[in-house]
Structure 1
Amino acid sequence: MNIALFLEMAADAAPDRIGLVCDGQRWSYARLLAGARGAAALIRDSGCSHVALLDESSEAAAMALFGAAIAGVPYVPLNYRLADADLAALLTRITPALIVGDVARVERLCPSADNKVLARADFVTAALDAAADAPAEADEGDGVAIQLFTSGTTAAPKAAILRHANLVSYILGTVEFGAAPEEDAALVSVPPYHIAGIAALLSSIYALRRILLLPAFDPAAWLDLAAGERASNAFVVPTMLSRIIETVDKGVRPDLSNLRAVAYGGGKMPLELIQRALDLFPDTGFTNAYGLTETSSTVALLGPDEHRAAHVATDPAARARLASVGRPLPTVEIEIRDEDGRCLPAGEPGEIYVRGDQVSGEYRERSALDAEGWFPTRDAGYIDAEGYLFLSGRADDVIVRGGENISPGEIEDVMLALPAIAEAAAVAIPSAEWGEAVGLIVVVRDGHHAPADEELKQVIRARLRSSRVPERVLFAKSLPYNEMGKLLRREIKKLFAA
Structure 2
Amino acid sequence: MSISLLLEMAVSSNPDRTALVSGEMRLTTTELSSLADGGAGVVASTGASHVVYVGLGGAMLPLLLFSAAKAGIPVTPLNYRLSGDGLRELIDRLPQPLVVADADYRDVVEGTGKKVISSDEFLAAARTAEPVAEFPDPEDVGVVLFTSGTTSRPKAVELTHNNLTSYITGTVEFDSAEPGDAALICVPPYHIAGVSAALSNLYAGRKMVYLPQFDAAEWVRLVRDEGVTSATVVPTMLDRIVTALESDAVSLPTLRTLAYGGSKVPLPLVRKALALLPEVGFVNAYGLTETSSTIAVLTPDDHRAALSATDDAGLRRLGSVGKPVPGIEVQIRGEDGTVLGPGETGELFVRGDQVSGRYAEIGSVLDADGWFPTKDVAMLDEDGYLFIGGRSDDTIIRGGENIAPAEIEDVLVEHPAVRDCAVVGPEDPQWGQIIVAVVVAADGAEPEPDELREHVRAQLRGSRTPDRVVFRDELPTNATGKVLRRELIAELTAENGAHARSAK
TM bucket (normalised to shorter chain) is over 0.9
More moved, 440-449 vs 103-112: 103-112
* Distance apart, 1:104 and its partner CA: 7.4
In the other structure, the counterpart of 1:57 is: 57
More moved, 6-15 vs 210-219: 6-15
Give the aligned length.
493
In the other structure, the counterpart of 1:127 is: 126
Percent identity of paired positions between Structure 1 and Structure 2 = 48
- Describe the shift of the 1:174–1:108 C-alpha distance in structure 2 as closer, same or farther (beyond 3 A): closer
**1:328 counterpart = 2:324:** yes
In the other structure, the counterpart of 2:205 is: 208
In 2, Cα distance between equivalents of 1:15 and 1:208:
10
**1:143 counterpart = 2:140:** yes
Question: In structure 2, the residue corresponding to 1:39 is in which secondary structure?
Answer: helix
In the other structure, the counterpart of 2:461 is: 465
Structure 1 segment 330-409 matched on structure 2, within 5 A: 330-365=326-361, 366-409=363-406
Aligned-residue Cα RMSD (Å) equals: 1.4
* Distance apart, 1:103 and its partner CA: 6.0
Q: 2:151 aligns with which of 148, 154, 159?
A: 154
Question: In structure 2, the residue corresponding to 1:463 is in which secondary structure?
Answer: coil
Contact 1:72 / 1:141 at 8 angstroms: preserved in 2?
A: no
* Distance apart, 1:249 and its partner CA: 0.6
In 2, Cα distance between equivalents of 1:490 and 1:300:
27
Residues 442-465 of structure 1 show CA distances to partners (whole Å, capped at 9, x for unaligned) of: 1111122222x2222222222101
In 1, Cα distance between equivalents of 2:36 and 2:102:
20
Contact 2:138 / 2:160 at 8 angstroms: preserved in 1?
A: no
Contact 2:102 / 2:120 at 8 angstroms: preserved in 1?
A: no
More moved, 104-113 vs 209-218: 104-113
In 2, Cα distance between equivalents of 1:282 and 1:301:
19
Question: In structure 1, the residue corresponding to 2:453 is in which secondary structure?
Answer: helix
* Distance apart, 1:435 and its partner CA: 1.3
In the other structure, the counterpart of 2:482 is: 486
In the other structure, the counterpart of 2:498 is: none
In 1, Cα distance between equivalents of 2:13 and 2:49:
32
* Distance apart, 1:345 and its partner CA: 1.0
* Distance apart, 1:112 and its partner CA: 4.4
Q: Which amino acid aligns with 1:22?
A: S
- Describe the shift of the 1:26–1:455 C-alpha distance in structure 2 as closer, same or farther (beyond 3 A): same
In 2, Cα distance between equivalents of 1:345 and 1:107:
54
Question: In structure 2, the residue corresponding to 1:40 is in which secondary structure?
Answer: helix
- Describe the shift of the 1:480–1:187 C-alpha distance in structure 2 as closer, same or farther (beyond 3 A): same
- Describe the shift of the 1:142–1:349 C-alpha distance in structure 2 as closer, same or farther (beyond 3 A): closer
**1:294 counterpart = 2:290:** yes
In the other structure, the counterpart of 1:85 is: 85
Contact 1:70 / 1:140 at 8 angstroms: preserved in 2?
A: no
Structure 1 segment 32-111 matched on structure 2, within 5 A: 32-102=32-102, 105-106=105-106, 109=109, 111=111
In 1, Cα distance between equivalents of 2:341 and 2:56:
44
In 2, Cα distance between equivalents of 1:358 and 1:345:
25
* Distance apart, 1:96 and its partner CA: 2.0
Question: In structure 1, the residue corresponding to 2:198 is in which secondary structure?
Answer: helix
* Distance apart, 1:252 and its partner CA: 4.9
Q: 2:191 aligns with which of 171, 190, 194?
A: 194
In the other structure, the counterpart of 1:168 is: 165
Residues 224-280 of structure 1 show CA distances to partners (whole Å, capped at 9, x for unaligned) of: 011000100100111111100100111151x41110111111010110111111111
- Describe the shift of the 1:486–1:104 C-alpha distance in structure 2 as closer, same or farther (beyond 3 A): closer
Q: Which amino acid aligns with 1:128?
A: R
In the other structure, the counterpart of 2:9 is: 9
- Describe the shift of the 1:140–1:44 C-alpha distance in structure 2 as closer, same or farther (beyond 3 A): farther
Question: In structure 2, the residue corresponding to 1:140 is in which secondary structure?
Answer: coil
* Distance apart, 1:391 and its partner CA: 0.9
- Describe the shift of the 1:88–1:112 C-alpha distance in structure 2 as closer, same or farther (beyond 3 A): closer
* Distance apart, 1:193 and its partner CA: 0.5
* Distance apart, 1:432 and its partner CA: 2.4
* Distance apart, 1:99 and its partner CA: 1.4
Question: In structure 2, the residue corresponding to 1:94 is in which secondary structure?
Answer: coil
Residues 268-324 of structure 1 show CA distances to partners (whole Å, capped at 9, x for unaligned) of: 011011111111111111111100000000000100101001011111110110000
Contact 2:109 / 2:116 at 8 angstroms: preserved in 1?
A: no
Contact 1:290 / 1:300 at 8 angstroms: preserved in 2?
A: yes
**1:421 counterpart = 2:414:** no
Contact 1:325 / 1:391 at 8 angstroms: preserved in 2?
A: yes
- Describe the shift of the 1:356–1:165 C-alpha distance in structure 2 as closer, same or farther (beyond 3 A): same
* Distance apart, 1:200 and its partner CA: 0.6
Contact 2:162 / 2:353 at 8 angstroms: preserved in 1?
A: yes
Residues 80-99 of structure 1 show CA distances to partners (whole Å, capped at 9, x for unaligned) of: 00122211101111252111
- Describe the shift of the 1:103–1:262 C-alpha distance in structure 2 as closer, same or farther (beyond 3 A): closer
In 2, Cα distance between equivalents of 1:367 and 1:97:
23
Structure 1 segment 220-239 matched on structure 2, within 5 A: 220-239=217-236
In the other structure, the counterpart of 2:116 is: 117
In 2, Cα distance between equivalents of 1:43 and 1:477:
46
In 1, Cα distance between equivalents of 2:139 and 2:51:
14
In 1, Cα distance between equivalents of 2:96 and 2:258:
39
Question: In structure 1, the residue corresponding to 2:390 is in which secondary structure?
Answer: strand
In the other structure, the counterpart of 2:500 is: none
TM, length-normalised to structure 2: 0.95
Q: Which amino acid aligns with 2:384?
A: G
Contact 1:232 / 1:261 at 8 angstroms: preserved in 2?
A: yes
Contact 1:40 / 1:67 at 8 angstroms: preserved in 2?
A: yes
* Distance apart, 1:137 and its partner CA: 3.4
- Describe the shift of the 1:137–1:476 C-alpha distance in structure 2 as closer, same or farther (beyond 3 A): closer
In 1, Cα distance between equivalents of 2:202 and 2:154:
30
In 2, Cα distance between equivalents of 1:213 and 1:104:
18
Question: In structure 2, the residue corresponding to 1:63 is in which secondary structure?
Answer: helix
Q: Which amino acid aligns with 1:242?
A: D
Contact 1:195 / 1:296 at 8 angstroms: preserved in 2?
A: yes
Structure 1 segment 257-276 matched on structure 2, within 5 A: 257-276=253-272
In 2, Cα distance between equivalents of 1:103 and 1:241:
29
- Describe the shift of the 1:142–1:305 C-alpha distance in structure 2 as closer, same or farther (beyond 3 A): closer
In 2, Cα distance between equivalents of 1:103 and 1:245:
33
In the other structure, the counterpart of 1:249 is: 246
In 2, Cα distance between equivalents of 1:35 and 1:102:
17
* Distance apart, 1:36 and its partner CA: 0.6
Q: Which amino acid aligns with 1:60?
A: M
Gaps of at least 5 residues in structure 2 are: 495-504
**1:278 counterpart = 2:274:** yes
Question: In structure 2, the residue corresponding to 1:88 is in which secondary structure?
Answer: helix
